[in-house]
Amino acid sequence: MAIQDIYPTALRLLGRPVLVVGGGPVAERRAKGLLDAGAKVTVVAPIATETLQGFDASGLLSWEAREYRTSDLDGVWFVQTATGTSAVDTQVAADAEAQRIWCVNASDHEASAAWTPAVAVVDDVKIAINAGGDPRRAMALRNAVATALETGDLPLRRHRKPGAGGSVALVGGGPGDSGLITVRGRRLLGQADVVVADRLGPRELLKELAPDVRVIEVGKTPGHHPVPQLEINRILVDEALKGNRVVRLKGGDPYVLGRGGEEAEFCRQNGVEVEVVSGVTSAISVPAAAGIPVTHRGLAKGFSVVTGHEELSEVPARPDHTVVLLMGVAQLRDSAAALAGSGLPLDTPVGIVENGYLPDQRVTIGTLGSIADQAEAVGVANPAVIVIGDVVRVSPFAPQHFKTADYSTITPNRPRVRSN
């Protein structure tokens, strides 16, 4: 195995004088990084970029508009050369070596006493990568590692808890497929000490948690709420006050019929920091899994999302206004009757999508007049999303006769003729 004579470390340069020799774009990048580390930066170069000149004018660093001198190294802790002229960089590096000052030689990485890694910061983690003196390779690796940290593919969770109190994140996990959680939600889940989980949502991700992450199950089914909402609220606050990072992992979106607003309000009332991470709501995404748009040019300009037949009297009873029913399987027959009683034609298309995006997804399509009997015949069960309206005609699962001669997605503004 080849041995590389590199000893990885990190320099703490806060308040320490450093020297940058050169005034071009590379020198500018290095000076910015050194300023971010809190160093007292001096730039020596006859010509400097506008940015470096601006830093000098604002007092962030000192620019000496002249050629390099050996005396510039006096009292310096660290040197970066970036003149673009090999002879000058070599001279600076030799002078630094003579005075035992660490120096990065931008002109010759093999002769350089130190290498500058590719750096990224994610949360409070700083990663630095060297790649055998190949900066582009190092940058590619840095970007890959940073992305993995951002998305939760690498563990970003703290093991030493900070002194301050914990926090709560209400994370919308989407309709169930683990690939449909947001990047922010996945990252917070990877940092969690405690996960308060619903029955729906990306359950597969729970298997990826570290063994010491506690999962508290609070899932509900229609008509059966083993953990009341007030108890869920209390769990979130109690765990956060113990200093834990708590993720409330919910299906869909926490603010779409998910009682996330109540949980956030309770946390704030009890002095707990709370973050809301929107998710892909099942009201829109699950119909899309069956090729059903909730709006479609020429078919529907708006839609309503409801959870029971009681609200249906306030919904426009027109095939060109899509109605999305959540948690509506048990009351499907009553809901269909309510819409028909409000004037919605019995031949209005209806689609039911069970287990959207999951391997056992099933789509049942009928009409307002037939769908209740069809659902009972095939044993439709929750979780399911019911879509009512002409948009169901667009689904590739719709029977051919739904796509009538006057129906077109290519010329959708053509008048449609309905039979009475």
- Residues classed as catalytic: 198, 220
Sheet holding 349-354, edge to edge: 302-306, 321-326, 384-388, 349-354, 362-367
Give the Cα separation of 245 and 236 in Å (integer). 10
Strand-pairing partners, residue 224, are 221
List the one residue out of 344, 341, 338, 312 whose CA is nearest residue 326: 312
Pairing of strands 17-21, 40-44: parallel
Q: Which residues of 156-168 are buried (b: 16+ CB within 10 A; e: fewer)?
A: bbeeeeeeeebbb
Measure CA 249 to chain center.
Answer: 14
Residue 343: CB partners within 8 Å, gap ≥ 6? 317
Alpha-carbon distances of 15 from 40, 61, 115, 357, rounded to whole Å: 6, 12, 21, 55
Give the Cα separation of 410 and 298 in Å (integer). 10
Give the Cα separation of 116 and 171 in Å (integer). 38
List the one residue out of 47, 40, 30, 101 whose CA is nearest residue 70: 101
The pair phi, psi for residue 375, each rounded to 5°, is -60, -40
Alpha-carbon distances of 302 from 37, 286, 287, 297, 406, rounded to whole Å: 53, 17, 15, 10, 21
List the one residue out of 169, 171, 188, 194 whose CA is nearest residue 267: 169
The pair phi, psi for residue 137, each rounded to 5°, is -65, -45
Helices (H), 75-195: 86-98, 135-151, 183-191
- The 8-class DSSP code of residue 117 comes to P
Rounded (10°) CA dihedral 10, 12, 13, 16: -130
